[in-house]
Structure formats: C-alpha cells, structure tokens
Amino acid sequence: MKTKAYNLVNSVEQEELDAGLLAEYYFVEANDGKSVTLPDVFSSEVREDIIRSAVLASRANRRQPYGHREHDGKRAPQPGMKHSVEWWGKGRGVSRIMRKTGQRTGAQNPHTRGGRRAHGPKVDKDWSQKLNSKQRRLARDSAIAATVDTRMVAARGHRFDDDIRFPIVIDGYVESRNGSDEKYDVESLPLQYSTRKFVAMMEGLGLSADLERAKGGRNIRAGKGKMRGRRYRTPKSILVVVSNRDGLHKAARNVPGVDVVVAKDLSAEDLAPGGDAGRLTVWTKAAVEALE
C-alpha cells in the first residue's frame, strides 16, 4: 500500500513599522511529495470489538483505587470511628447501639449521626483486566487501519476538508522568508513560535476546523470529577505521531485537544479514545518508517 506524502511550505511574512517589527504571520501550503510505502498494518482488518476491549482494559488498569483504610483501633481510626464508645447492655429499654462513653449520643453505627459509612469503597478492590499481548497488538494494528478510513474518521465527529487524503503523512518542511528558503526536518521544527507554526501547518493541510471544534468544545465536566482536578473536559482532536520527541513534539502538545505520541509507544487508546476507532491522525514519514 502506497500514498503520497505532503511537503509543507511556510511563507513567513512580517510587517515593519517605524517602531520596529510586528509579529510574524504564517501561510502554509501543502504540496504533494514523494510516494511512501506504508507498512502492512495500515491494511489490517478493522476489529472494533478488539479495539474497544483493549481500550477498556487499559483504562481499567490505570484506574486508581480509592476508599478508606482498614480500621485499626485508635492508632489510625477510619472516618466515623474516632470516638471512645460503649454498649450499655440489655435491660435498659433502649436500642442496642454503641454510644459515646458517658453520653447517650450514638456513634460508629452506620444509621447514627456521624457514624461510619455502611458499605464504603475499599482500596483493596482490584479493577485490573487481563489482556493478552497478541490481542493488544491486534487492537493497535486495527486502530491504525481505521485511521485510513475516511468514513470512520468522519463518523467520530472530526472535521476536515473534502480533498484531504488519508493517511496524512508529512515529509518535508520549508520556511520561505524574505525570498530565501530554509529547509528543515519536520520533526526538528525550530522552537521559536513553534506552536503558531504547527497551527498554520494544520490549516495548510485542511484540518483547522477540527482544531476549532476542540477549542470551542471545552466545557465544565459534569459530576464530582470537577472537584478532583478534572474540572474541564476538552474534545479529542488531532493525534500527531512522531519518531522522537523533538521540536514538533513540543510545538503540538500545547494545542487544545491535540495529543502527540512517539511511534514506539503507540497504543489502541491513543488511536481510539474511548474505544471509538478512526481518530484524525497525522503521521511524519519517520514515524511511518519506525512502524516497520
């Protein structure tokens, strides 16, 4: 299976006034480059059931247990068990519940005010799920093949231009400034204004609408998660797959909804967040070669 990679040409414009230079403006044009031979994983069978099971197992294995500690007397009492209590015994005509020492106030029992929780969560519960290594590899390969299917990518809610070609592979990058061209390895993007350059690159590829979707879709999470450091929820946008953590990796990681992953660390959850296959994915030519 072969596809043509994109070569990106970034035209840098900067207006000059008497007070000095203004900010730079970037206009990126995507041109067809050389053909790239894709690894066999891009033509694998898409098994959505395997992808979903692998993603759910990954999320379950990452789940952090929560709950109170085991009751261990006065040394480290659990919530609702922090009082010295006694039982009055039978024959007094009152209910047989534990009461604070020297008082009538009930304590410790689940049905008393300030008592312990009846069946609270315990940290010793095991949420992990077993997944065979071959199943994990099959799920990753299936998720890679799903990124080539335009219908599946659109069904996930991603927005892109109609003339885009999947898979999206970037090969060359050139900056044209004041009539002179300077060529860079796309993964070694210069760090100065690199995030702005990355956004301009996605606009040149025809993916700017998806970045706007993720940026505009950020909202406050429903439920108690917003009180536990997860207040905002941002839709998943573009996944950028690189071969090493260099300039492009640092440029893309700050954009809302965009994730960057090294090819050797690629998993089904990166390619199919939530178990839904067909994430909008941009590959570098070096990352494609690293999959082989």
Do residues 234 and 218 touch, judged by C-beta distance below 8 A?
yes
Per-residue pLDDT, 30: 92
Return the exposure string of 156-173: e unless at least 16 CB atoms fall within 10 Å of the residue's CB, then b: bebbbeeeeebbbbbbbb
Note whether 107 and 101 are within 8 A (CB).
no
Pairing, β 85-86 against β 99-100: antiparallel
Query: pLDDT tens, position by position, for the chain (292 residues)?
Result: 889 999 999 998 877 665 556 778 899 999 998 999 999 999 999 999 999 999 999 999 998 888 887 777 667 778 888 889 999 999 989 999 999 999 999 999 999 999 998 988 888 888 899 999 999 999 999 999 999 999 999 999 999 999 999 999 999 899 998 878 889 999 998 888 899 999 999 999 999 999 999 999 999 999 988 998 899 999 999 999 999 998 999 999 999 999 999 999 999 999 999 999 999 999 999 999 999 8
- Looking at residue 180, what is its pLDDT? 84
Instruction: State phi, psi for 235 to the nearest 5 degrees.
Output: -60, 150
User: How long is the chain?
Assistant: 292
H or E element in which residue 232 lies: strand 232-233
pLDDT at 248: 93
How far are the Cα atoms of 78, 82, 85, 109 from residue 73, in angstroms, in the given order? 9, 9, 12, 15
Two tokens at 48?
């959505």
Q: Which two tokens stand for residue 170?
A: 């970037």
238 in Cβ contact with 159 (< 8 Å): no
Measured over the CA atoms of residue 68, residue 69, residue 72 and residue 73, the dihedral's sign is: negative
* Rg value, the chain, Cα: 28
Q: Report residue 175 as tokens.
A: 């900056």
* φ and ψ at residue 260, rounded to 5 degrees: -125, 130
Token pair listed for 87: 């039982």
Fold adopted by 2-63+129-290: Ribosomal Protein L4; Chain: A; (3.40.1370)
Q: What is the pLDDT of residue 243?
A: 94
Peptide bond into 121 cis (omega under 30): no
| DSSP secondary structure, 138-169, as one string | HHHHHHHHHTT-HHHHHHTT----TT--SSEE
Angle between helices 133-146 and 48-61 (to 10 degrees): 120
Domain coordinates of the chain in residue numbers?
2-63+129-290, 66-126
User: What pLDDT, on a 0 to 100 scale, did the predictor assign at position 192?
Assistant: 86
At 286, phi and psi to the nearest 5? -65, -35
> Beta strand pairing status for 168-177 and 180-185?
antiparallel
On whether the CB atoms of residues 281 and 266 are closer than 8 A, the answer is: no
